[in-house]
Amino acid sequence: MSSDASRATRHRDDARRWPVGLEGLGYGGDYNPEQWPLETQLEDLALMREAGVNLLSVGIFSWATLEPREGQYELGWLDAVLDRLHAAGIRVALATATASPPPWLTRRHPEILPQLADGTVLHQGGRQAYRVSSPVYRRYALRMTRLMADHYGNHPALALWHVDNELGCHVPHEYSDDSAAAFRDWLEARYGTVAALNAAWGTTFWSQRYDSFAEVLPPRTAPTYPNPTQHLDFARFSSDELLAHYRELRDVLREVTPHIPTTTNLMVSTRNKWMDYFSWAPDLDVVANDHYLDAADPEAHVELAFSADLTRGIAGGDPWILMEHSTSAVSWQPRNRPKGPGEMLRNSLSHVARGADSVMFFQWRQSAAGAEKFHSAMLPHAGTDSDVWRGTVHLGEVLRRLAPVRGSRVRADAALVVDYPAWWATELDSHPSDAVHYTDQVMAWYRQLWRRGVTVDVVAPGADLDGYRLVVVPTLYSVTDDAAAGIARAAQAGATVLVTYFSGIVDEHDHVRLGGYPGAFRELLGIRSEELHPLLADERLTLDDGSTADLWSEHLHLAGAAAVRTFTDGPRAGGPAVTRNAAGAGAAWYVATRLDDAGASRVVDELLAESGVTPVLPVVPDGVEVVRRWAEPGPGVSPGAGAGAGSASGTASGTASGTASGSDAGTSSGVGAGTSYLFVINHGSRDATVPARGVDLLTGAPITGELTVPAHGVAVVEEP
């Protein structure tokens, strides 16, 4: 069994890099100087220095300013901006400037405009008005990218390339004839023959048989339920096509500037499902993410934590860049509520605690015009006499003090398995219930672990699960044979595995695995479900532990497993609702309904007790977030040796998790000489006291056993 540390270092040999010349943690945001006169830009430099800004994303929406007429370039203003930033010691993530084509381009080539499933054309006037499959758009984007690379490749401020912007943000799926042609090529590459496509898509159903690839279309608006596998493949194709566009531009940048890393800003959150970022990660030199809170979500900080953990999972455990978040309100939700006291700092440190080594915002200076003028920024409309600005300056100081954290890593004994294609497939139509929303299922279990202060790695189904003691698999409706086998192997090797309802139902082609549900996990779980029985909106069932459940039930038979809970009423009264099966050295649990909070909480307590997974601290007060990052072994220590010496998994120490599980909460046994950083983030409105030992990095105060973090406050303790 490999240890946690070796798992965390598995990408160490990859080509992932870091913005060139960036010292400490990165701090800054999108910078759009073309919106401002020179005098304001000069003021920006002084204020950036005051705030401690060291990294800016520049040129994202500059195409129309850099090339105001086809082939006529006006780069002087950007040259001057980069020169000044360099002189001020600020590193630049320079964009390819291709995120939004200029009006002259869409006027001259209206055939690059994107189309919706019903044929509606999306016109110029907003942003991202291009179809990613258009050879014409791709040619222009390549030309612009090459120009940027040739012109700025040797600029001393250049630290990182930023390709496009939030690829697929507004147009994740595009249905034009260009898209149809590219989709057919993609299908031919995937299936080889049209017969194989027919088999995969199950086209004998409803007379859908294709005689050649030429007959295939994107899933345009149809009279009734479209072919589900066509939908799934179109989602896969669309994600791949956006990635192909990224790769094409990245290749130009690599050719001209092999020394400069390239990335694009992802949109990892529970609200963005259409790009399969696990499959994008190998092409990014460093993972960068944009994250925004839902102002209407009272537990938005838990969603943030999940998104940050998922981003770290996508990055394979490597440090990543928080490329955008907001200092306060956004402008694109129905009601754009500003952040509360200390919220921006808590959000920022929660990202850092979970692996971000840069904290950036949209944007540096709040715009006076345009669709985002009410979106907050580091420097608000009100100017420097404002809480937002004071928060900006304070965060800069905090990040400067946290510089030692850079490069340290998060470790976890629990894994949560999440899959983008399964997310798409779960939410296709014509299912037993349209109320099963994938990320609700994921968050229900994540939230339980978050509240307890249990650190979780969010991983893809095919990930190496070696060494995890607890593996949570919420509603993994579609799963490949290999991924299902990997999950079963984890249980055989000693992990406690939890699988929840509507998992393992279909293969990657959305074909049902026959012989009883959940086909892919029947054997592992020791159960067989003969009929799925979703509940009506107001239906609620009772379980024998007194908890209630809703949304889902099943006609479940035990085939080796024991019933841990049974339904006491409803359609399957007396039948199993939660089961446990001994599997090799571990166990596999199944939850066949949506448990209420108390019910889920009891199950999680049992899973933690069985697996030996413990929280970061023995007691975590309500509303307090605790995460630990571990310094990497120093040079000369091989990953293997580091893994043994620095393991948090207990493989070296023999303790359950190596995270502070004993009475001395400072550092865990078996850690060796490694330094760790304990992040304590108090989202609650009461002061919270936790056990800790070390030095408070933000104040310099020694912490000798107890640390009190004020309401809404944060602390980071460097542990010896």
Q: HSE, CB side, 13 Å, CA atoms: give it for residue 330.
A: 15
Q: For ligand GAL, which is the closer residue by CB, 324 or 696?
A: 324
Q: How far apart (Å, rounded) are the C-alpha atoms in residues 17 and 19?
A: 7
Residues in contact with 486: Cβ distance below 8 Å, sequence separation at least 6, in sequence order? 461, 462, 463, 464, 465
Residue 91 as a binder of ligand GAL (CB under 6 A): the answer is no
Decide whether 165 or 676 has the Cβ nearer to ligand GAL. 165
Per CB under 6 A, 372 contacts ligand GAL: yes
Q: Is 330 in the site for ligand GAL (CB under 6 A)?
A: yes
Residue number, 130 or 362, with CB nearest to ligand GAL? 362
The answer to whether 497 touches 471, Cβ cutoff 8 Å, is: yes
**164 lines the binding site for ligand GAL (CB under 6 A):** no
Of 144, 169, 344, 473, which lies in the binding site for ligand GAL, with binding defined by CB under 6 A?
Answer: 169
Calpha distance 91→321 (Å, rounded): 14
DSSP secondary structure string for all residues of 96-131: -S-SS--HHHHHH-GGGS-B-TT-PBPPTTSS--S-
Stretch that binds ligand GAL, among 165-173, 193-201, 501-509, 662-670 (CB under 6 A): 165-173
DSSP one-letter code for 567: B
- Our finding on whether 165 is near ligand GAL (CB under 6 A) is yes
Closest CB 300 distance from ligand GAL, rounded Å = 14
One of 44, 233, 240, 290 touching ligand GAL (CB under 6 A): 290
Nearer to ligand GAL, 95 or 314 (CB): 95
Question: In this chain, which stretch among 161-169, 438-446, 606-614, 620-628 interacts with ligand GAL, using CB under 6 A?
Answer: 161-169
Number of residues that bind ligand GAL (CB under 6 A): 10
Distance of alpha carbon 203 from alpha carbon 331, whole angstroms: 45
Stretch touching ligand GAL by CB under 6 A, among 163-171, 272-280, 590-598, 671-679: 163-171
Q: Is 70 in the active site?
A: no
Is residue 96 part of the contact set for ligand GAL (CB under 6 A)? no
Rounded to a whole number of angstroms, the minimum distance from the CB of residue 86 to ligand GAL is 24
Q: Which C-beta is closer to ligand GAL: that of 169 or that of 449?
A: 169
DSSP state letters, 412-455: -SEEEE--HHHHHHHT-SSSS-TT--HHHHHHHHHHHHHHHT--
CB neighbour burial string for 7-26, b if at least 16 within 10 angstroms, e if fewer = bbbeeeeeebebbebbebbb
> Least distance in Å: CB of 375 to ligand GAL?
5
Name the token pair of 30: 């999108």
CA distance 213 to 194: 6
User: Which residues have CB under 8 Å from 184's CB, separation 6+?
Assistant: 213, 214, 216
Q: Which residue is nearest to ligand GAL (CB)?
A: 362
**Position 300: which residue type?**
A
Instruction: Classify the C-alpha dihedral 596-303-500-495 as positive or negative.
Output: negative
Instruction: Rule CB under 6 A: choose which of 140, 361, 362, 677 binds ligand GAL.
Output: 362
Contact flag: residue 183 with ligand GAL (CB under 6 A)? no
Q: Which residue in the set 164, 285, 309, 324 belongs to the binding site for ligand GAL (CB under 6 A)?
A: 324
Give the count of beta carbons closer than 10 Å to the beta carbon of residue 162: 25
Q: Which is nearer to ligand GAL, 30 or 625 (CB)?
A: 30
Query: From residue 298, how far is each of 271, 283, 295 by CA, in Å?
Result: 16, 35, 8
| Choice from 44, 67, 166, 343 touching ligand GAL (CB under 6 A) | 166
Q: Pick the stretch among 43-51, 164-172, 621-629, 664-672 that binds ligand GAL (CB under 6 A).
A: 164-172
Q: Which of 324, 343, 554, 625 is catalytic?
A: 324
292 binds ligand GAL per the rule CB under 6 A: yes
Cα 312 to Cα 290: distance, rounded to the nearest angstrom:
13
Using rule CB under 6 A, residue 375 touches ligand GAL: yes
Per-residue burial over 468-504, b = 16 or more CB atoms within 10 Å of its CB, e = otherwise: bbbbbbbbbbbbbeebbebbbbbbebbbbbbbbbbbb
Nearest distance from C-beta of residue 170 to ligand GAL, angstroms: 9
Report residue 3 as tokens: 């240890």
50 is a catalytic site residue? no
Which residue, 166 or 413, is less far from ligand GAL as judged by CB? 166
Q: How far is CA 345 from CA 325, 393, 394, 681, 712, in A?
A: 11, 11, 9, 9, 9
Shortest distance (Å) from residue 362 CB to ligand GAL: 4
Minimal distance, residue 339 CB to ligand GAL, in Å? 13
- Which residue numbers are catalytic? 166, 324
Q: Which residues bind ligand GAL (CB under 6 A)?
A: 165-166, 169, 290, 292, 324, 330, 362, 372, 375
